Structure 1
Amino acid sequence: MATTTGILNNTANAALTNNQINVHNASTTHNYHHPTPSEHSLAPLAKLYRHCAPAAFLNSAERPDPPKCSPKTRGKLLGETKGFATAEGPTSSALWLTGSAGSGKTAISQTTAEELKKQGRVLGCHFFFRSSKDGKRSDGHCWVPNLVHEMVCVLPETRPYVEKIIRRRDSVFDQQPDGVLEELFLKPLKVTTGKRFIFRRTLKWILGKSSATSIFATQIPLLVVVDGLDECKSPEMQVHILRTIANAIPKLPIPIRFLIASRPETHIRAAINDLFGYIPLHRINLDEDQDIRKDLDEYYHDRFNALRRDHPSLRGQEAYQTWPSQEQIEALIAKSSTQFIFASTVMNYISHRGGNPFTRLDIVLGIKVTPQKDKPYLELDILYRIILLTVEEDERKIIFLILSFVYLAGKGDYPDLQLSASPEFLEKFLKLDVGDVPRFLNPLVSILSLPEAPSGIITMLHASFFDYLCDPDRSEDLTMKFDGAHEVVAWRVFDEGERLSWNLFESLSSANAKSDLLASKCVVLESFLLHASRATMSIDLGLALFALEQSIIQMICFRESELSSPNHQFWLVDRRSQINTLLVSKLGGQLAGHDSLFHVSPTWSTLQRHQQEMGNLIIEFIADEPKESTLANLICKLQSGLDNWSDFTKPRLSGKLGREACQSLVTALIQASPHTQLYRRDVLELLRKPDYIFSTFLTEADGKHAREILEFIREFRRQSLFEYKIRGARIDTGLIIHLDTIWARHIAGLEGTLRTS
């Protein structure tokens, strides 16, 4: 089309040249008091531009260096996308280009669009981006105005109709994208293509059938690119855009090809399967690209050739022509994990003109330590951070717990646990509901792959993702810690110990010294101590360790004659010392002289003093934990340490606790009880005797405390239905129901007494 002049004279706000509309300060055009005819004709396009996202256009000035495919790479894929876009035929269709984060979707979309733009085959492009400066590139309401804006440039005959609709009703932009598409895109296309058909038929009559056929034998399809759909603001809008495209394709009067590029988010995949069932749809999954290693090899060689040619420290140095070695390039390809974003990021880092390329390559390969201020993976780290921050903080904690087990299972550091990275195993191990693992990990499907079957293995698409999570310098506040995983494992092992009753007396006796049961108990205890040492100390964990230490002390001091050999005694002493050291170090206390507790025969008073000091140490730790105030208050009221856990039903404690402490006593003990049978049975026995509790601690006329206790029993009963909430405690549901019944009966009796009196 020739350059248009005269239409936009006397205005500095816009120009229409060579099919390009350039609008400047468009937001002020509608404020003119006396618009000229040319300014009046511009106003509708200015309004249209005001609803566009200019940064989302192909080769926008706000995208100065868009990702593109490096020469000699992605040849097969580019041939497939361009073949789809240029395939002759009257039917419109769509292509879904998908792949994990950083797999090169935008580079392929950009390269395809640029090459076809030169042939006049591109109708419009919209490149979504979540972190745009003005937020418009992530606004799903802008993509249709962008498309219409480019349509009036590529098909100028549609412009008068677009202007007419906007001039008549500029509120058209207040609709959802599907309504705007219908009014400003589909209707102008239908009108103008109808006139084209009349002109074509007339031309056929004038020139003769053969000549006309040679000129208009086919209609050239035009390409519309919608890249980064998953970067649109909300999943709801992403699905709406897909629905808009699917509904528009059968109505299009000319062949248009839609190239839709996105990550394989579950809702996008489901929407495409649902909406494009009867529409021609092509699919390309970049994660299944068989040529990726060859392309990465080509990419690295190309970038290193440029580096040797252009970098100040390497330019003209013949000695460096064989650097890096093919082994080093292979190592980079392995670390890339089929992701071009990794390759691009590290090559930008290595090629930086202010650094030493040799040193930086060694840093990437892990040969040298990364300097503190260096950011070799900055672009990649930003990507990972964006993905993780899309998840709510509470769910992120569970995701990190699941990922920590996926990581530990992959490393194989704990073969005795037989950890597996399958959803089925993790749901059982973490006491989650069936389907919870895929549900929680779903926001991360762009960097990991979820198996189709529950027994399949979760695999990482980005090998560098765990490197990021485990490096505090890179992930900062999103660093993945493993203490939570070790605490979960510790309790799972502890449950196994309880299943074996932790009864080492009989197992260590001469009759059973060589039994498999003894070996199992020893392994369980050592495994529990290993994971407890790597977990963050909690009140429950401290109490369990303390209870185990007391059991071992009693074995050594009072049943020594039953041990089958001195080796067993030495083993027990070593475990006792290990527990003691662990408790003291975790609780931050100082207990002088207790390493030599068993070097001489201890007296009962020595053991009591040790028990008292350990109890006080735990009490001090609990006092610093405000979240555990109920349990802290209880233990502080016990005053004599923890040696009286099994004696709290004795009358002598009533004076120490006081009547008002009864309810907190019951509450706290039940809260602690799921983690050890050492005092769970005592708690349940106490609750069996409401009459005893009231006769010892409360008055019969006080029904308020009874109702509080009943409500807690019922809450405990509700919790027992969700076993994972109480760390796998095997609570006798029948007993809880029985307790509910007797406490309800007791309250009814109290209320009857009060009414009578």
Structure 2
Amino acid sequence: MATTTGILNNAANVALTNNQINVHNGSTTHNYHHPTPPEHSLAPLAKLYRHCAPGAFLNSAERPDPPKCSPRTRGKLLGETKGFATAEGPTSSALWLTGSAGSGKTAISQTTAEELKKEGYVLGCHFFFRSSKDGKRSDGHCWVPNLVDEMVRILPETLPYVEKIIRSHDSVFDQQPNGVLEELFLGPLKAITTPKRFSFRRTLKSIFGRSSTSMFATHIPRLIVVDGLDECKSPEMQVHILKTIANIIPKLPIPIRFLIASRPETHIRAAINEAFSNIPLHRINLDEDQDIRKDLDEYYHDRFSAIRRDHPSLRGEDAYKAWPSQEQIEALIAKSSTQFIFASTVMNYVSDRRGNPFTRFDVVLGIKVTPQKDKPYLELDFLYRIIILTVQEDEREVVFLILSFIYLAGKGDYPNLQLRASPEFLEAFLQLEVGDVPRFLDPLVSILSLPEARSGQITMLHASFFDYLRDPGRSEDLTMRFDGAHEVMAWRVFEEGKRSNWQPSDQFPSAINENDALDSFLLHASRAHMSLDLILALFALEQSILNRHVVDINLPYNQPWLAVYISQINTLLISNLGGQAPFHVPDSQSELQQHRQEMAHIIIRFVTNGIDRSLLTSLIRRLRSGLDCHFDGSRLSGKVTDEICRPLIKALVQVSPHMREKLSWKNVETLLQSPDRIIPVHAFLEGENLKCAKEILEFIQKSRHRSLAPDLISSSLNIQMEQQWMQYIRKHERRI
């Protein structure tokens, strides 16, 4: 290729770009591409490296500042992990290092590996990461090539065997990791430890330059670290890797130790319990670390000491030696919730030389508002976002609803509802199936703890998680809203009100009393997502109160405060529906009827502004069945139901022709089949509304002829309705 380049260097109309030759002739350019050498032409080690994830190695340049345990912290845990890796024994084994998100698993894995690598114990490391630049660190197929690449450098006598297999088996890397591990790792390792072929003592001597009888004789490279297994992009691959490790352990010719670090995801826990049932397995759960508060205290003191020593704002100032106080550090420890990621994120923010450490510390403690440009919890927010996005999108709404109730139960602001953060209570309260709460929350087990008993409390492992969800500046499109929770609570109070006949107080309340059903219902409705059903319930409740107010002016509880309740409901409806109708409490039947029709038109306009088939069908179904509500022992049915439903139906058929086009034939048919007591033909289509009736008749005729679903439509019923409407229109034709 070099010769060709020299020949063409001065050629006219010829351009060379990497492996491509571009020849321009007149108006045409011809491209001659010299392809990259195919994989089968590469040297074995080059082919091996192609399948590696370079960023997952222990000291990779892609991980310039990996998390590590700070001095004076995690001493007991590091002693345990290093003791596991260096322990004498003829059999291989595994250690599962687990804990919630941000509990320090990677820091412990990194520190253990770095310290033992200096002593010659480390055989290989792979640090998974979900958001790597090239995607390879999250690819489960790369961890075995990484392990083999490190093995041939640490145990060079394995190199000829690895090269031979790659040369003779072109498709070796097309297998699942278990097959690659058997061929490229286990095979060569067995070959160099077989006494008939090679002396393992000689292998050790070649590596360490010492006799196998020296003090380093037991320092056989034996530790393999697989960190962040949950960051592998495929849960199926995560399980496969665990089974591969469990299957290889009994076959290993030397006592290798696997340190596996991951979050306690349900499928990982189940796979470990199954795959390692007959394999020696140690477990370390960082969430059960009894020394965590002491370690956090040491960590904060060390970091603040460094700030006082090195930060340009404080350097050399003796006056700041007492900053911060132990009380303030205790507050930080409480906010950390035993999670080192919170501590490190906060201290990186406070120690940043571009900011004032006092101001930033006050921001962390909540004393000052976060400056708009600042991102004090950037690393933590990224972690929370990744975790939430593991929840399936179609289940995210119900997961956020469950989380909102866990938060509200913890605050204890609504004792009348006796909210509890247990699966049993939440499933009953939200009308979910048994077992739904643990199932929906399963993707979040790295930041919350689910109880063994259904009546037990769900606890948050990260106190700052709800801070993230409630702050739109941090969670952005994942911000947790509480309007759905208040809608659910409004309905629960509404049902209680029906059972107690909405017994109102006998005097005007000076403040909202949450023990009173009506007050509590209006409180939650004012904070709720204004769904169609809630709108209709408020409308029905308002009309019921108004009707009793107008019909019987001498009711004993008909005090001025009653008008205030009516005004509250009306204002709530108007503000949510976008109406601007003036309002005063009607004192006559004519005023009541006029207000009822105005409110009906506002509701229908609100519905039809964003109308879709499902919303319209829901509205029509509610109108067809009537609105069921109690007030003062009077069930909203019969005449009362007619007085509420009829204005709504009239407003619906009076919407613009454009909106009527969105009515499916099934919806029109359902409306026109309504009982006579709700929608008699002549009850509302009078005078100028006859024109609307004629348009609906034309709609019926067109829909019947173009219907492609005769099973959904009764032809005889269509004809009967058509004849009824035609007869009515002809009778009043002269009015049009």
TM-score (norm 1): 0.76
Structure 2, unaligned runs of 5 or more: 1-17, 19-34, 204-210, 508-512, 625-636, 655-659, 682-696, 721-736
Instruction: Trace 1:516-535 onto structure 2 (pairs within 5 A).
Output: 523-535=516-528
Out of 608, 626, 634, the residue aligned to residue 623 of structure 1 is 608
Matching residue of 1:52? 52
**Distance in 1 (alpha carbons) for counterparts of 2:271 and 2:290:** 27
Per the alignment, residue 754 of structure 1 pairs with none
Q: 1:349 to 1:680 in 2, by over 3 A?
A: farther
Letter in 2 for 1:258: F
2-structure distance, mates of 1:85, 1:531: 57
Partner in structure 2 of residue 569 of structure 1: 559
Residue 646 of structure 1 corresponds to which residue in structure 2?
642
Secondary structure, aligned partner of 1:620: helix
Per-residue CA distance 1:359-415 (angstroms, 9 max, x = gap)? 000000000000111100001011111111222221111111111111111111111
Q: Which residue of 1 aligns with 2:421?
A: 421
Q: Is residue 221–residue 255 contact of structure 1 (8 Å, CA) maintained in 2?
A: no
SS in 2 for 1:90: coil
Q: Taking structure 1 as reference, are residues 606 and 327 closer, same or farther at Cα in structure 2, changes over 3 Å only?
A: same
* 1:450 equivalent in alignment to 2:446: no
Is the 8 Å Cα contact of residues 89 and 255 (structure 1) preserved in structure 2?
yes
Mapped pair 1:588 → 2:588: no
Structure 1 stretches of 5 or more lacking a match? 1-24, 34-38, 204-210, 515-519, 671-678, 687-696, 713-742, 751-757
Aligned to 1:430: 430
CA shift for structure 1 position 498 = 3.4
Contact 1:424/1:455 (8 A) holds in 2: yes
1:446-525 counterparts in 2 under 5 A? Answer: 446-500=446-500, 523-525=516-518
Alpha-carbon offset, residue 488 of structure 1: 1.6
The 3 A distance-change label for structure 1 pair 522 and 215 is closer
Cα 1:645–1:530, aligned 2, differ >3 Å: closer, same or farther?
same
Deviation of the 1:632 alpha carbon: 7.1
Provide Cα deviations, 1:645-692, integer angstroms capped at 9, x if missing partner: 517999xx999969999952574799xxxxxxxx99988999xxxxxx
Alignment partner of 1:626: what SS?
Answer: coil
Q: Aligned equivalents of 2:130 and 2:645: distance in 1?
A: 62
Give the direction of change, closer, same or farther, for the CA distance of 1:412–1:32 in structure 2 (3 Å limit).
Answer: closer
Show the counterpart of 1:723.
none
Pairwise CA distance, 1:73: 0.1
Q: Look up the SS of the partner of 2:380 in the other structure.
A: helix
Per-residue CA shift, 1:161-218, capped at 9, x if unaligned?
A: 0011111112101100000000000000111101388647999xxxxxxx98778985
SS at match of 2:226: strand
Counterpart of 2:408 in structure 1 is: 408
Match of 1:557 among 550, 565, 581: 550
1-side partners of 2:561 and 2:449: how far apart? 45
Letter in 1 for 2:560: F
Match of 1:194, SS state, is coil
Correspondence for 1:664 among 642, 656, 667: 667
**Is 1:536 matched with 2:521?**
no
- Partner of 2:126, secondary structure, is strand
Identify the range of structure 1 (625-634 vs 242-251) with the bigger mean alpha-carbon deviation. 625-634
Contact 1:85 1:221 in 2 (8 A): no
Aligned counterparts of 2:679 and 2:602: Cα–Cα separation in 1: 27
Residue 731 of structure 1 is matched in structure 2 by none
Q: Is the 8 A contact 2:337 2:463 kept in 1?
A: yes
Cα distance in 2, alignment partners of residues 656 and 143 from structure 1: 63
Which letter does structure 2 place at the counterpart of 1:373?
A: K
CA offset at residue 526 of structure 1? 1.9
SS at 2:554 equivalent: helix
Q: Determine the C-alpha separation between the residues in 2 that align with 1:248 and 1:582.
A: 67
Overall identity of the aligned pairs, in %: 70
Report the Cα distance in structure 2 between the residues aligned to 1:377 and 1:215, rounded to whole angstroms.
48
Instruction: Report the AA paired with residue 328 of structure 1.
Output: Q
Question: What is the match of residue 280 of structure 2?
Answer: 280
Post-superposition CA distance 1:118-158 (Å, at most 9, x none): 00000000000000000000000000000000001111111
Q: Is the 8 A contact 2:416 2:515 kept in 1?
A: no
Which letter does structure 1 place at the counterpart of 2:71?
P
1:226 match: secondary structure: strand
Structure 1 Cα separation of the partners of residues 541 and 676 of structure 2:
16
- In 1, distance between residues paired with 2:577 and 2:61? 59
Distance 1:663 1:157, change over 3 A: closer
Amino acid across the alignment from 1:114: E
Distance between the aligned counterparts of 2:330 and 2:371, measured in 1? Answer: 24
Equivalent residue of 1:560, what SS? coil
Q: Give runs of aligned pairs for residues 580-729 of structure 1, distance below 5 A.
A: 580-592=570-582, 594-595=583-584, 597=585, 602-627=587-612, 628-630=615-617, 646=642, 663-664=666-667, 667=670
CA distance in 2 between counterparts of 1:389 and 1:348 reads: 25
Give the 3-state SS of the residue equivalent to 1:225 in structure 2: strand
For the Cα contact (< 8 Å) 2:126–2:226, is it kept in 1? yes
Between the aligned partners of 2:360 and 2:651, the Cα distance in structure 1 is 71
- Paired residue secondary structure (1:561): coil
Shift of 1:624: 1.2
**Aligned partner letter, 1:551:** S
Structure 1 residue 320: deviation in Å?
Answer: 0.8
1:242 and 1:214 map into 2 onto residues whose CA distance is 36
1:309–1:74 CA distance, 2 compared to 1 (3 A)? same
> Which structure dedicates a bigger proportion of its chain to helix?
1
Counterpart amino acid of residue 536 in structure 1: H
* One-letter identity of the residue aligned with 1:612: Q
Query: Which residue identity lines up with residue 579 of structure 1 in the other structure?
Result: I
Give the total of aligned pairs.
634
Partner Cα separation in structure 2 for residue 561 and residue 706 of structure 1:
56
Q: Give the Å deviation of 1:446.
A: 0.8
Q: 1:294 to 1:649 in 2, by over 3 A?
A: closer
Per-residue CA distance 1:423-450 (angstroms, 9 max, x = gap): 1111111111111111111111111111
Bigger mean CA offset, 610-619 vs 434-443: 610-619
- The 1:488/1:680 distance shift into structure 2, 3 A limit, reads farther
Specify the alignment match of 1:116 in structure 2: 116
Q: Using the alignment, how far apart are the partners of 2:147 and 2:133 within structure 1?
A: 21
Q: 1:555 to 1:302 in 2, by over 3 A?
A: same
Asked if 1 retains the 8 angstrom alpha-carbon contact of 2:192 and 2:198, the reply is no
Q: For the Cα contact (< 8 Å) 1:88–1:220, is it kept in 2?
A: no
- Which range is displaced more, 537-546 or 279-288? 537-546
Could you tell me how far apart the structure 2 residues matched to 1:60 and 1:221 are? 20
Cα distance between partner residues in 2 of 1:456 and 1:544:
35
Distance 1:490 1:59 in 2: 56
Task: Please tell me the residue identity of whatever aligns with 1:339.
Answer: Q
| Contact 2:604–2:652 (8 Å) recurs in 1 | no
Name the aligned partner's letter for residue 51 of structure 1: H
Q: Is the 8 A contact 2:235 2:267 kept in 1?
A: yes
Structure 1: distance between partners of 2:187 and 2:140: 21
Compute the RMSD of aligned alpha carbons. 4.1
Match of 1:235 in 2: 235
**For residues 27-38 of structure 1, what are the structure 2 equivalents within 5 Å?**
none
Task: Give, as a single letter, the amino acid of the residue that structure 2 aligns with 1:569.
Answer: Q
TM-score, reference length from structure 2: 0.78
Q: Deviations over 1:613-671 (max 9, x none)?
A: 2222212212212233456799999xxxx999517999xx999969999952574799x
Q: How far apart are the structure 1 equivalents of 2:424 and 2:705?
A: 45
